[in-house]
Amino acid sequence: MEKVVQRFIKYAKEYTTSDPNSTTYPSTNRQITFMKKLVVELKEIGLSEVEMDNYGYVTATIPANGFEKSPVVGFVAHVDTSPDFSGENINPQIIENYNGTPVELKNGVTIDPKDFPEILNYTGQDIITADGTTLLGADDKAGVAEIVTAAEIILNSKDIKHGKIRLAFTPDEEIGKGTDNFDVKKFGADFAYTLDGGEIGELEFENFNAAGAKIKVHGRSVHPGAAKDKMINALLLAHKLVGMLPPSQRPEHTEKYEGFFHLLSVNGNVESAELHYIIRDHDFNKFTEKKNLLKKIVQLINLEYGKTLVELELTDQYFNMRQKIEPVMYIVDIAQKAMEQAGVEPKIKAIRGGTDGARLSYDGLPCPNVFAGGHNFHGPFEFVPIPSMLKSVEVILNIVQLVGKTEY
């Protein structure tokens, strides 16, 4: 089981950051480089039907060994890391027997229990962090390592009886494109689980409805000495728009089922500016209201000036998978029982984000999300407790055996 740690550290060192500005698929060649190495490894441990398609998806099969009539279960993880923080030259390190004190890293980065109290839940355990200069990549290299390790154990065990199992590793999840070209029919699973969750015990079948907004602001640049009644400052118009959105609906003021508007970036000058937002809400009606509010604000600003100074481009990204999971809730029950068998307390909650599973569920592959064990994703404060990773592998092993006993 300790191979999962070796694998994770090896995978984490691979530079696989996705690029939201790319026009290729996958968005970066570095993901393909890693996928090719993964193909070799999957073949070496004895998996069947290992292939990488033209879009970079890697899939593989573990044939049934006695439960041919059971459903085909899949496990999915993504290989890319978030572009929100550097994922190059990652240097994972193991903090042995964590003692409950602040973890001092490079660049003045400190994982302090005052700021991140959840780390105290792992006092006495070995945890893995980066060195403070990069993110760690447990999102979702931990999931990749856990799936591959579980597959190797299954292949080498005569005692684990199961039906057919399918594995998939995807690119570009972090930029919302992880399943754009995924062939659900060819994958051939009846349902699947993403190993892309956070803390130990997380089990999720709800996620945000999500949209992205690109807002272009057109100003009029005039010499400030002669600007009276002539200049239109695009930066100030952008600031005006930001101020018209409710401050209480920003990520830093929301939790649980509360949605938000998240300003990702502002770039520009007096002549022109561009803003990028993401819009999130679990409730579809509230999600729609948020999009309509942004549209209304743009209309009001344009009406005020009597011309189109602000242009809005809204794009839906994914939707809440709950609607697709509820008719097959037994797959959530299986995961819950698998955790209980592993001595893990299930923590059923809504994802304040999205996974490949959300898109896959709408494409016909119901796909709840199971914990991979990491914390504080997308930044230098990220860590993953080793015992959580070991339990994730155990949960996968339990799931395949429970599914094997399930017949149509």
For residue 1, pLDDT over 80 is answered with: no
Return the structure tokens found at 145.
Answer: 């390592």
pLDDT at 287 over 90: yes
How do residues 297-350 score in pLDDT, each as one tens digit?
A: 999 999 999 999 999 999 998 899 999 999 999 999 999 999 999 999 999 988
- The whole-number pLDDT of residue 407 equals 60
Domain with CATH 3.30.70.360 in the chain: 210-317
| Cα 90 to Cα 27, 100, 105, 143, distances in angstroms | 20, 24, 13, 17
What does the mean pLDDT of the chain come to? 95
Q: What is the pLDDT of residues 5-19, one digit of tens each?
A: 999 999 999 999 999
pLDDT at 405: 85
Q: Taking a C-beta distance cutoff of 8 angstroms, is the pair 322, 331 a contact?
A: no
CA dist 96 and 146 (Å) reads 20
Percent of the chain at pLDDT > 90 equals 92
Q: Per-residue pLDDT for 389 more than 90?
A: yes
Which entry of 80, 196, 281, 394 is annotated as an active-site residue? 80
Query: Looking at domain 210-317, does it have CATH number 3.30.70.360?
Result: yes
What tens digit of pLDDT does each residue of 50-72 get? 999 999 999 999 999 988 889 99
Name every residue whose Cβ is closer than 8 Å to that of residue 292 and which is 6 or more positions away in sequence: none
CB atoms within 10 A of CB 16: 26
Answer CATH for 3-207+320-404 from 3.40.50.300, 3.50.50.60, 3.40.630.10, 3.40.50.620: 3.40.630.10
Tens-place pLDDT, residues 82-116: 999 999 999 999 999 999 999 999 999 999 999 99
41 noted as active-site residue: no
pLDDT in tens, 108-163: 999 999 999 999 999 999 999 999 999 999 999 999 999 999 999 999 998 999 99
Residue 359 has pLDDT above 70, yes or no: yes
* pTM across the whole model: 0.88
Q: Give the pLDDT score at 94.
A: 97
Task: Judge whether 368 and 357 are in contact, CB under 8 Å.
Answer: yes
pLDDT at residue number 408: 46
Q: Exactly one of 173, 199, 204, 281 is catalytic; name it.
A: 173
Where in the chain do CATH 3.40.630.10 domains reside? 3-207+320-404
What is the model's pLDDT at position 351?
Answer: 86
Q: Is 84 a catalytic residue?
A: no
Of the candidates 143, 70, 147, the residue with the CA atom closest to the CA atom of residue 334: 70
